[in-house]
Chain A
Amino acid sequence: MFEFFDVYLLEAVISGILLGGVLALIALGLNLIFGVIDVVWICYAELIMIGMYGLYYFYSVYGLPMWIAAPACIALVAVLGLLLHYIVIQPLLDAAPINQLLATGGVLFFLQSFATVAFGIDFRNLGIRLPVLAIGEMHFSFARLLAFLAALAGMVVIYLFMTRTYIGTAIRAISQDRQIMVLMGVDTKRLYLVTSALGGALAGLAACLLVLQYDVHPFVGLSFGPITFLIVVLGGLGNFIGGFVAAFVFAEIISLGGLYSDLEWGYVLAFAFFILMMFARPQGLLARRS
């Protein structure tokens, strides 16, 4: 019985929390896009992948200092988000929702193979060795802690933007009633573009944080893409708080599952948990049962 509460368990629990921060950030980006524009970007993980390459090139290849490279990377993905909306989503705004989803699926294909063609299939990393923190017998990578803190900071900035600025208020309003806001004289086109850029910027931030911990390759999006979709569906699409909670629940499952066997089984466990939760709380974690 006492073996169960060992130091590795505690380490896994804390690692899970740290992982949850980044997952929550990604879920927030997806929820923002869905909540406001009513579109799911299936290619969200691939935007992050491009961002990871962006930081790799800015920092390791062109030798820019990190304080320029990271904002440049965030700006790059923000522009990508803007373009994605302008080129692909805007013409499809009146089409069936499923067509919008499939079109972003086409973008997923495009980005993946673009990365394959442009960057090759080699694994790249920044080559930064961040120190490992040792607390008692537990070891945490500094990169994870940094990622967790930066993700939290990013979410706070988004929260302030949404509640304290005029555009933020307008974005929240439009997610509540799409028709009325147009009648109120709100330029939805512009708001959608701002939201897309914001969603892209969040993906860019997530990219900067992930590339500190993981190698980047064209298919890296597939390793965390599916889990993010599970998180946002379980949290309730468009529900920010739900996505936040679900991100930490899933991160713990993956982390603890990974403790007892491979990381992949952690993902499988998370999916099994998801299916079970579908029976219990089909409308999402935080929904009240009607």
Chain B
Amino acid sequence: MNARNLLLGIVAAALIALPFVYRQPYHLHVMVLILIWSFAYTSWSVMGRFGLVSLGHGGFMGVGAYVTALLWNHLGVSPWIGIPLALLAAGALALVVAYPCFRFRIIGHYFALVTLALSGIVLQVITATRDQTGGSLGYTPERTKGSLLVALQFDDKETWYLIALAVWAAGLVIWYWVDRSMMRYAMEAISEDEDAAAAAGINVTAEKLKITLLSAVMTALAGALYCQYQMFISPDTVSGISVSLQMVFAAVVGGIYVALGPTVGAIITIMLAEGLRIGFGTQAVGWDNLIYGVLLVLFIIFLPKGILGSLLERMRAPGKS
């Protein structure tokens, strides 16, 4: 255990020290993206690992990004207040959609389809309110001059790297916290058999709502961070069905049952997208998603536990059996 803590400390120190030693802006940019998306994918897998497959997380991410940006541009509300409000909005949305779903036993296919529609609807709302949100052309939060803490805008990549790193680490801590909590046992029982779980005294609706709220709020935070970092959001990059599927895809590729699985998924998908972009330039438009699509199908058929999940299982198997 001590050796493990030591290793953890070294890795953490190395990750924190990285931007001060290595300052190549493009590589730092890619790493910030990986960290933010890893956090988003981890948020999805917090509930996805219990068989609650939501395809509505694109919607939550869109709410997080757009509410923060709209409050800043139209009302001048600092993101420090705007982000909590955005998280509240995403939580409220999750509650409104998830409560009837859970209360009336909409599970499995049905739940996935309802949430799929949710992410489609959020996209429609953003497009419909084009006078305020810029519609499908995208939206830019107003720039301040230089870095400003109040506006949560920083010109240097190092600051953003550290922020993203902290949030990503917090995501992992939450993942572990759920993993160790009673909630995990309750949720596992529910995913096996809802009736039996209810008979054992688990409040099925409440447990599912708790984990969904947690996951939705985390996802909205990822959306808000993405917005503040990129300073440009469009309905296609932060909301809608493709973003939802992208989350599911990355989490499945990395492995949804292990803490670092979504992170591995994010590394693979973003490296693939960036590699294609650099290698083929504008010709690569569409090819990254083409490859994602094929990979997703292949992974679900041949490696449903994901890369990291299968690897860890293989490493542990000889010792145990």
Contact at A106–B116, with CB atoms within 8 Å? no
Asked if A103 and B300 sit within 8 Å, CB to CB, the answer is yes
A243 to B184, CA, bound (A): 37
Task: Let me know if B53 and A102 touch, CB within 8 A.
Answer: yes
Q: Are B300 and A226 in contact (CB under 8 A)?
A: no
Q: Does B117 contact A (CB under 8 A)?
A: yes
The interface residues of chain B lying within 8 Å CB-to-CB of A110 are 289-290, 293-294, 297
Query: How far is the CB of B173 from the nearest CB of chain A, in Å?
Result: 27
Interface residues of A in 153-195 (CB under 8 A from B): none
Is A222 touching B123 in the complex (CB atoms < 8 A)? yes
B84 within 8 A of A: no
Residue of B nearest to A262 (CB): B128
B39 interfacial contact with A, CB 8 Å: no
Residue of A nearest to B236 (CB): A219
Interface residues in B233-249 (C-beta closer than 8 Å to A): 240-242, 245, 248-249
Say yes or no: is A148 at the interface (Cβ < 8 Å to chain B): no
Question: Do B110 and A233 have beta carbons less than 8 Å apart?
Answer: yes
Number of chain A residues whose Cβ lies closer than 8 Å to a Cβ of chain B? 48
Roughly how many angstroms separate A188 CA and B110 CA in the complex, as a whole number? 25
Residues of A contacting B109 in the complex (Cβ-Cβ under 8 angstroms):
34, 40, 97-98, 101, 237
Q: Give the most central of A34, A108, A275: most B CB within 10 Å.
A: A275
**Binary interface profile of B, 275-296, with partner A (CB < 8 Å = 1, else 0)?**
0000000000111111011111
A105 touching B121, Cβ below 8 Å: no
CB pair A117 B290 closer than 8 Å: yes
Using C-beta atoms within 8 Å of the partner chain, give the interface range for chain B.
Answer: 35 or more
Contact A113 B117 (CB under 8 A): no
- A109 & B249 in contact (Cβ 8 Å cutoff): yes
Q: Is the CB of B294 within 8 A of A106?
A: yes
Q: Is B252 an interface residue (CB 8 A)?
A: yes
| Distance, CA A114 to CA B291, complexed state (A) | 10
In the docked arrangement, what's the CA distance between A95 and B285, Å?
33
**12 A-B pairs (CB sep. < 8 Å):** A99-B300, A99-B304, A103-B297, A113-B287, A222-B242, A229-B116, A232-B113, A268-B125, A274-B114, A274-B117, A275-B97, A282-B104
Interface residue ranges of B69-121 to A (CB < 8 Å): 96-97, 100-101, 103-106, 108-110, 112-114, 116-121
Chain A residues with CB below 8 A from B121, complex form: 226, 267-268, 271
CB distance from A212 to the nearest CB of B (A): 23
CB-based contact A278/B297 at 8 Å? no
